[in-house]
A and B are shown apart, each in its own frame.
Chain A
């Protein structure tokens, strides 16, 4: 046997020896060895009840020599022969032991899987083609792989409630439920809202909310994601679109400073749903409902689709060239100190870098952003409802974001500021501005994805791309650098902010030679001290800790405690 002094233990999986840290669950060891053990109830973020029995595998240990017998001879690698146990064990809740053997193939394991599949399907409706989960149902997947071809179940099925309204956003089909209890454990352990439970018993066990109560917490839709079958479905998404028709893009949620990792599911530039993506340094595996569902406006009638210029009291459509040229001519006649820029902490770092360039180029008197400070929900929603305040602070050199907004207002009233550029913000609704505050301005430009009162007052209105329509990076509240990836193209003539600003700079006599977000990223990472040296690949799909702000994400802190107690894998 190897004499290494470490916490790594030797485990044989399907004939191959591997090393894993002590305490690793068998299922996780298999996964690391590239062997997927089918499972329904197990979820690394939740406690393990071991109830579905899908993960049964064959297990063995080197037998202890009987008294008087010589110990067995190790093989040439120093491993003792394994004595296989006649009974299978669950891989999800059992941890590995030194010199353990695991067989995920072979007659015993296969028989177990076939048996469990047959049991799960016995009372399950077999109408996959009309089930909304079709295409992403683990039961359907495994049944094709492990189930028996034809049903031996000749009895009447147990009847249970169908189409139950268990909350404002979720529906339950109890006949499809396989009683894995994932949803119950999620609401008990993660959402601290234990409103789900099983009633009745045996084969009649029924998932339920208490009569008159509902599953309404702001994390409820995560239960739909983790339900392995089509028992829980989202009212927002149900029957909207077959999953195999959709494009999936990994990106981040822009609704607060946490930057939950998400997948945007879309088809033909229309978003159909958003699901969380696991990132143990950001959002674990979850996302708040309010953020997940905040996408309907993107494909709505409220979008600005064309550049507009003020013509008397109303606006008229124009071309980008005209809009930019008009803006440039208005700005050219002004001194830098007469120009103020209000940018947005919803912008990417690359866009903020362009704002910085613009400010320098115009020698603008004021640059600030609109802060969005509220209260944290104690889980994932951070107090900062801007996704990139950290980036704005570093790149624009802001110490106290928003602190200059009042001064800008005063300066406008005192006629010290004559032109105001509002980039991707709406000062009337989201900051302390009123339409009259703009009346003395010579020039007001605004870019924004949607029609809004600030745009109403502006001389030039530019349709700005929203978060789903652009790529770049953002820094979350903890200082983690993450990638925002474009999921869809914006409607009409929307432009991304960096393009708008590039054109403004060029038309006011500045040159730059920036043609892509990649160029921008390269400039950002060579010019801004904290970003120097960072590469796109380094950020990867899960981001990288760039700076340490000292901020923490409450849900992750709780998760760490559960991991430390050995309750969950994490």
Chain B
């Protein structure tokens, strides 16, 4: 395994694991979240590391990683954007928002498939994918950029300009 886990990251992970006194396995999601937060995505080494940490077979971690769209298995752009695709946002123009962001950030989504939902801009600055309902349907179209939530997005230039 070639993954280097900084000491403070491992410390944080160890602390998270204590939140599950009954079963370490319960800590799979928090461990993966911490790793993705640090590395940007979950690669095979991260899966193996998590499995070793929690004393699980790696497949039991991969089962989880591949189930959740919240975990990425390849590197996203510097800023990862998730645009809500679901009904209320779609009615409020989220497909148009997606198109507009892609155009302005130079992202080509033509290669997107079920297995590869993320497209990255040519310069690697932005990556984008559709997400399902982000629970803010009254203020659509909405999107998440990294951990920042944006409602009723109209001004795409202004949105992208916030991320240098």
* Chain A positions near chain B (C-beta within 8 angstroms): 194-201, 204, 208-211, 213
- Can you list, as one digit per residue, whether each of B46-87 has a CB less than 8 Å from chain A (1) or not (0)? 010000000001111011001100000000000000000000
Residues of A within 8 A of B60 (CB): 194, 197
B59 lies within 8 A of A196 (CB): yes
Residues of B within 8 A of A194 (CB): 57, 59-60
Q: Which residue of A lies closest to B68 (CB)?
A: A201
A204 lies within 8 A of B62 (CB): no
Q: Which residue of A lies closest to B51 (CB)?
A: A210
Main secondary structure of the interface of B (DSSP, over half): helix
A204 lies within 8 A of B115 (CB): yes
Shortest CB distance B60–A (Å): 6
5 tightest A-B CB contacts, nearest first: A197-B59, A210-B59, A199-B66, A197-B63, A210-B58
Shortest CB distance A302–B (Å): 39
Shortest CB distance B72–A (Å): 14
Given A200-B67, A201-B66, A201-B67, A213:B114 Cβ within 8 A: no
Residues of A within 8 A of B47 (CB): 210
Residues of B within 8 A of A213 (CB): 57-59
* Chain B positions near chain A (C-beta within 8 angstroms): 44, 47, 57-60, 62-63, 66-67, 114-115
Q: How far is the CA of A199 from the CA of B68 in the complex (A)?
A: 10
Residues of B within 8 A of A208 (CB): 59, 62
Residues of B within 8 A of A196 (CB): 59
Given A194-B57, A213-B58, A204:B63 Cβ within 8 A: no
CB contacts between A and B, total, < 8 Å: 35
A204 lies within 8 A of B58 (CB): no
Q: How far is the CA of A391 from the CA of B58 in the complex (A)?
A: 46
A-B contact pairs, 17 of them (CB 8 A): A194-B60, A195-B57, A195-B59, A196-B59, A197-B59, A197-B62, A198-B63, A199-B66, A200-B67, A200-B115, A201-B66, A208-B59, A210-B57, A210-B58, A210-B59, A213-B57, A213-B58
Shortest CB distance A188–B (Å): 9
B67 lies within 8 A of A211 (CB): no
Most chain A CB neighbours (cut-off 10 Å) among B58, B59, B67, B114: B59
Q: Which residue of B lies closest to A202 (CB)?
A: B114
Q: How far is the CA of A195 from the CA of B114 in the complex (A)?
A: 25
Residues of A within 8 A of B67 (CB): 199-201
B57 lies within 8 A of A200 (CB): no
Q: How far is the CA of A125 from the CA of B70 in the complex (A)?
A: 31
Shortest CB distance B85–A (Å): 16
Q: How far is the CA of A195 from the CA of B59 in the complex (A)?
A: 6
Q: How far is the CA of A200 from the CA of B60 in the complex (A)?
A: 12
Residues of B within 8 A of A195 (CB): 57, 59
Q: How far is the CA of A213 from the CA of B44 in the complex (A)?
A: 12
Residues of A within 8 A of B115 (CB): 200, 204
Q: How far is the CA of A295 from the CA of B21 in the complex (A)?
A: 50
Shortest CB distance B50–A (Å): 12
